[in-house]
A and B are shown apart, each in its own frame.
Chain A
Amino acid sequence: MLTFLRRRTLTSLPPLLAVVLGVFVLARLTGDPAALYLPENATAQAREQFSAAHGFDQPIWSQLIDYLAQVARLDFGTSLRTGEPAAVMALRAFPATLQLAVVTMLLACAVATAVGCWAALRPNGLADRVSSLMSVTAASVPDFWLAILGIWVFSIMLGVLPTSGVDAGGLSWVLPIAVLMLRPAGVLTQVVRGAMIAALGSPYVKVARSKGAGEGRVVARHALKNAAPPALTVAGDLAVGLINGAVVVESIFGWPGIGKLMIDSILQRDFAVLQAAVAVTAISIFVLNIAIDLGYALLDSRVRQKVGAAA
Chain B
Amino acid sequence: MTLLENPPEASAPDKPVKAHWFRLLLADPAAFVSALILLLVAFVAVFGTRLAGASATKGDLSLSRLAPFSLDHGWQYVLGGDLLGRSLLGRLMVATQTTMSVVVPVVLISLVIGASAGMWAGYHRGWRETVAMRIADVILSFPSLLMAVVVLYIFSPSIASIIAILAITRIPVYLRTARAESAELQTRLFVDAARTFGTPSGAIIRRHIFPIVLPTLLTVATVDFCYVMLAESSLSFLGIGVQPPDVSWGLMVAQGRDQLRTQWWLSVLPGLAIVITTVSANLLASWVRIATDPGQRWRLTAPRRRRRAARPTVLETT
Contact = CB atoms under 8 A, between A and B. Distances in A.
A/B touching: CB–CB < 8 A: yes
Interface of A: 11-12, 14-15, 18-19, 22-23, 26-27, 29-31, 123-125, 128, 133, 136-137, 139-145, 148-149, 152, 156, 183, 187, 190-191, 193-195, 197-198, 201, 230, 234, 237, 240, 244-245, 247-248, 262-263, 266-267, 274, 278, 281-282, 285-286, 289
A194 B314 contact: yes
Interface pairs A-B: 6 shortest CB-CB: A194-B314, A140-B278, A285-B141, A140-B226, A30-B153, A124-B308
Given A15-B138, A124-B308, A136-B282, 13 more contacts: A12-B137, A19-B141, A23-B146, A136-B279, A140-B279, A142-B234, A142-B271, A144-B257, A187-B223, A194-B314, A197-B312, A240-B141, A285-B140
Contacts, number: 153
Interface residues of B, number: 53
A137 to B, nearest CB: 6
Given A27-B150, A30-B150, A139-B223, A124 B278 contact: no
A263 B145 contact: yes
Given A137-B275, A144-B234, A145-B267, A27 B316 contact: no
B12 to A, nearest CB: 25
A35 to B, nearest CB: 13
B111 interface: no
A47 to B, nearest CB: 19
A266 B316 contact: no
22 contacts: A15-B137, A18-B134, A22-B138, A23-B143, A26-B147, A30-B150, A30-B153, A124-B307, A124-B310, A128-B312, A136-B279, A140-B226, A140-B274, A140-B278, A140-B279, A142-B230, A149-B260, A190-B317, A191-B316, A245-B145, A285-B141, A286-B137
Given A15-B138, A140-B275, A140-B278, A193 B146 contact: no
Interface in B124-178: 130, 134-135, 137-138, 140-147, 149-150, 153-154
Contacts of B149: 30, 266-267
A140 B229 contact: yes
A215 B278 CA distance: 35
A201 B310 CA distance: 11
B308 A125 contact: yes
Contacts of A267: 149
B290 to A, nearest CB: 12
A278 B143 CA distance: 7
B317 A244 contact: no
Contacts of B134: 11, 14-15, 18
A145 B254 CA distance: 7
Interface of B: 1, 4, 130, 134-135, 137-138, 140-147, 149-150, 153-154, 223, 226, 229-230, 233-234, 237-238, 250, 253-254, 257, 260-261, 267, 271, 274-275, 278-279, 282-283, 307-318
Given A15-B137, A198-B314, A237-B318, A26 B145 contact: no
A137 B230 CA distance: 12
Contacts of A128: 312
A266 B154 CA distance: 14
A157 to B, nearest CB: 9
B278 A23 contact: no
Report whether over half of chain B's contact residues are helix, strand or loop; otherwise say mixed.
helix
B141 A26 contact: no
Given A14-B134, A15-B138, A30-B150, A137 B279 contact: yes
Contacts of A123: 308, 311-312
Given A30-B150, A247-B238, A201 B279 contact: no
Contacts of A15: 134-135, 137-138, 141
B122 to A, nearest CB: 16
B271 A139 contact: no
A247 B278 CA distance: 23
Contacts of B311: 123, 197, 201
B289 to A, nearest CB: 11
Contacts of A140: 226, 229-230, 274-275, 278-279
Contacts of A23: 142-143, 146
A266 B317 CA distance: 31
A28 to B, nearest CB: 9
Contacts of B154: 29-30
B279 A144 contact: no
Nearest to B271: A145
A136 B315 CA distance: 11
Contact of B253 (A14, A142, A247, A281): A142
B257 A148 contact: yes
B315 A141 contact: no
A152 B260 contact: yes
B265 to A, nearest CB: 13
B158 to A, nearest CB: 17
Contacts of B250: 142
Nearest to B222: A136
Given A133-B279, A278-B146, A248 B257 contact: no
A282 B141 contact: yes
Contacts of B153: 29-31
A194 B260 contact: no
A144 B252 CA distance: 12
A194 to B, nearest CB: 4
B308 A247 contact: no
Contacts of A136: 278-279, 282-283
Contacts of A143: 230, 234
A248 B234 contact: yes
A141 B141 contact: no
Contacts of B312: 123-124, 128, 197
